[in-house]
Amino acid sequence: MEKGTSIILVTHYTDTIRHMCERAALIWNSRLEGIGESNTVVTEYLRLLQVREHSQIARTPEATVEDGSQEKKALITGVSFLDGNGTASQDFTTGSPIRVRIDYEVLTKLREPVFAVHFYSDRQLATAFISRPSDVRCQELRGSGTMELSVDQMHLPAGTYTVSVVIAEQVEFNHVDWHNQIYFLRVHSSERSLGRLSLPHGWQHKQRPTDTENQRPDLSV
């Protein structure tokens, strides 16, 4: 690029901003909220998205679904991300362990429950985890409880991810409660990684005997 040339990029794709821009401006509800280093601006943008989505959930009547046609069977009451030490965090290293803890409350009995966690990068699905019937200890859920997803090595490329959490019924995978991309976390490159992705690997060395070693006389008795 020639010296003195500037390019203005307008986008909602946060990873594009992180990778292509040194500085960014945040416009929210037609107002300029701030200008600064791109990672800082993207983090603030995701925080505002999370606040807005949480406020929308808080305004939704708990006893009804969106169309108000029937009782809501269960609620997601909390979601947290835990590192390998069990500490809550939103920053992880590619290849490191992660646990997603989902707190829930069942308002009426929930038959054949299913839990799902979806990770998105730039609004594109990066990976998803869906529980099996055998992962839930009972066929019907009642009261409140916790469901936890454990991933020993989360091999996501470095970047910022939004996360959706779903409670559903196995029958036709009917969504009971769905928090759509209102959580976010950051994944950083591993120190040993030379690219965006760190894959589990190991090295094994075997040395072949030299010709001289093969020609040595056997002196054993």
Same domain, 102 and 49: no
Among 85, 159, 151, CA closest to 123: 159
| pLDDT tier at 64, thresholds 50, 70, 90 | very low
Q: Point out which residues pair with 165 in neighbouring strands.
A: 117, 179
Same domain, 167 and 74: yes
Same domain, 144 and 81: yes
Kindly state the tokens that stand for 3: 């010296």
Q: What integer pLDDT is reported at residue 66 of this predicted model?
A: 43
> Is residue 132 in some structural domain?
yes
Domain final residue, candidates 32, 59, 86: 59
Q: What integer pLDDT is reported at residue 146 of this predicted model?
A: 92
Same domain, 7 and 42: yes
Same domain, 48 and 136: no
Domain final residue, candidates 35, 59, 83: 59
Check residues 70 and 178 and name the one with the higher pLDDT.
178
| One-letter identity of residue 18 | R
Average pLDDT over residues 152-159: 88
Q: What integer pLDDT is reported at residue 70 of this predicted model?
A: 52
Any idea what the Cα angle at residue 28 is, between residues 47 and 5, rounded to 5°? 105
Q: What integer pLDDT is reported at residue 137 of this predicted model?
A: 76
Check residues 146 and 60 and name the one with the higher pLDDT.
146
Distance CA 81, CA 19 (A): 25
Provide the 10 A C-beta neighbour count for residue 75. 20
- Whole-angstrom CA distances from 157 to 44, 124, 172 are 21, 13, 33
> Is residue 220 in some structural domain?
no
> Is residue 196 in some structural domain?
no
Q: What integer pLDDT is reported at residue 213 of this predicted model?
A: 60
Average pLDDT over residues 196-207: 73
> Is residue 23 in some structural domain?
yes
Distance CA 187, CA 157 (A): 7
Owning domain of residue 89: 67-188
Distance CA 87, CA 81 (A): 8
Q: How many domains does the chain have?
A: 2
- Taken in order 169, 174, 176, 180, is the CA torsion positive or negative? positive
CATH number of the CATH domain containing 116: 2.70.50.60
pLDDT digits (tens, 9 = 90+) for 20-57: 888 999 988 888 988 999 888 887 887 777 676 656 55
Same domain, 42 and 86: no
Same domain, 10 and 49: yes
> Is residue 188 within 8 Å of residue 92, measured between CB atoms?
yes
For the entire predicted model, the pTM comes to: 0.67
Q: What integer pLDDT is reported at residue 166 of this predicted model?
A: 92
Domain final residue, candidates 13, 29, 59: 59
Same domain, 120 and 184: yes
Check residues 56 and 209 and name the one with the higher pLDDT.
209
